[in-house]
Amino acid sequence: MSLEFLIAALVTIVSVTTPILLAATGELVVEKSGVLNLGIEGMMLIGAIAAFAVSYETGNPWLGVIASAVAGALASMIFAVLVLFLGSNQVATGLALTIFGTGLSSLIGDSYIGMAGDSFDSIFPTALAEDPIGKLFFGYSPLVYIAFIAVLAVYYFLNRTRAGLVLRAVGENDVSARSIGYSVIGVRCAAIAFGGAMAGVSGSYFTLVSNSLWQPGMTAGRGWIALALVVFSGWRTGRLLAGAYFFGLFMTLELYAKASGFSFLPSQFWASMPYLMAIIVLAIMSARESGGAEAPACLGKTYIPDA
């Protein structure tokens, strides 16, 4: 196995992982504030079509990415209004957002089917990505670096800032947080908007980076993987990053195993590998620590301010 080959495989892992990591990072913040948003897949699709449409019309992929963030955040605001102000059930509302997002993106995207856009490739000079090692560091779309920066920023925010502490307090005990004067709804609204924006940007990866085309439903369930990843990570940023790459590694391994002719295992086994590993890791983790204790205490609970 040559170095070049190994690096090519690593590049595939990074491109498989990035969209999941982006969406999961957003959802982590949402869940830390005590809200469970199952609408990731829908917001991703809305972000995906927004990115493609704007990038296609303007010829500027950066505008496309910004549009995807705005569109994702706007979509998440529908969820926020229903859940925070009208006290609707978070699970049902989140699922509705996924269905809505799938439909809306298909509708908007109808006229963009069959069009080829420009891809959002590395911003570094191509000379840097010529040799294999250079490619490993400089060969990616800006979205890959944005994902890493976002993870670091979220880690810093949640663990090192006062605002992060407030957000976690809201997620752990909304009534107490309110009694000492914090706006539970305001904090959660901001968290949901951030989650929506990240899901939107994650969607843009599908229409600008891994491909440069639009097809309805093209995220093909990645939003659910991102959701599972947050649970898998035990609501910790570091583990979220590791977990995302763990998933990406196994998804890529699956493809390499098949292409290299390891037919002693059925292909379905390889396809189920990431999920199987996730279950095993979760089982080990919950056996070691008191199971599920890391989940924000108010996660998924409807909060109705009494005044």
Partner 1 sequence: MAILTRRNFVKSAAAASALPLLGRAAFADEPLKVGYIYLGPVGDFGWTWAHEKGRKAMVEHFKGKVVADYVENVNEDASATPVIKDLAAQGHKLIFTTSFGYMDQTLEVAKDFPDAKFEHCTGYKHGANVGTYNNRFHEGRAALGTIAGMMSKTGVIGYLGSFKVPEVVLGVNSFTLAAQAINPKIVVKLVMIDSWFDPAKESAAAETLANLGCDVITTHTDSPAALQVCEKKKIYGFGQGADMSKFAPHAHLTAIEDIWGPYYISRAQAMLDGKWESDDAWWGIKEGAVTLSPYNKALPANVAAASDKIVSGYKDGSYDVFTGPIADQSGAEKVKKGDRMSLKDLATIDWYVKGVQS
CB of 149 to partner 1, least distance (A): 22
Task: Name the residue with tokens 């004067």.
Answer: 181
For partner 1, give the closer residue by CB, 85 or 262: 262
| Binding of residue 114 to partner 1 (CB under 8 A) | yes
Q: Contact with partner 1 (CB under 8 A): which of 255, 277, 282, 285?
A: 255
CA–CA separation, 134 and 4 (whole Å): 11
DSSP 119-181: -----S-GGGGSSHHHHHHHSS-HHHHHHHHHHHHHHHHHHH-HHHHHHHHHHH-HHHHHHTT
3-state helix, strand, coil in the chain (%, to 5): 75, 0, 25
| Binding of residue 256 to partner 1 (CB under 8 A) | yes
| Binding of residue 261 to partner 1 (CB under 8 A) | yes
Structure token digits, residue 144:
């890959």
CB of 69 to partner 1, least distance (A): 19
Q: Contact with partner 1 (CB under 8 A): which of 78, 251, 273, 278?
A: 251
| Binding of residue 116 to partner 1 (CB under 8 A) | yes
Residues between 177 and 206 with contacts to partner 1, criterion CB under 8 A: 206
CA–CA separation, 108 and 196 (whole Å): 18
| Binding of residue 210 to partner 1 (CB under 8 A) | yes
Q: List the x/- string, 118-137, binding to partner 1 by CB under 8 A.
A: -x------------------
Does residue 52 contact residue 168 with C-beta atoms inside 8 Å?
no
CA–CA separation, 56 and 68 (whole Å): 13
Q: Contact with partner 1 (CB under 8 A): which of 77, 190, 271, 282?
A: 271
For partner 1, give the closer residue by CB, 236 or 258: 258
For partner 1, give the closer residue by CB, 260 or 290: 260
Query: What's the Cα-to-Cα distance from 205 to each of 47, 60, 68, 105, 294, rounded to whole Å?
Result: 9, 14, 10, 15, 30
Q: Contact with partner 1 (CB under 8 A): which of 81, 136, 213, 277?
A: 213
User: Residues in the site for partner 1, rule: CB under 8 A?
Assistant: 5, 8-9, 11-12, 15-16, 19, 106, 109-110, 113-116, 119, 206, 210-213, 215-222, 251-252, 255-256, 258-261, 263, 267-268, 271
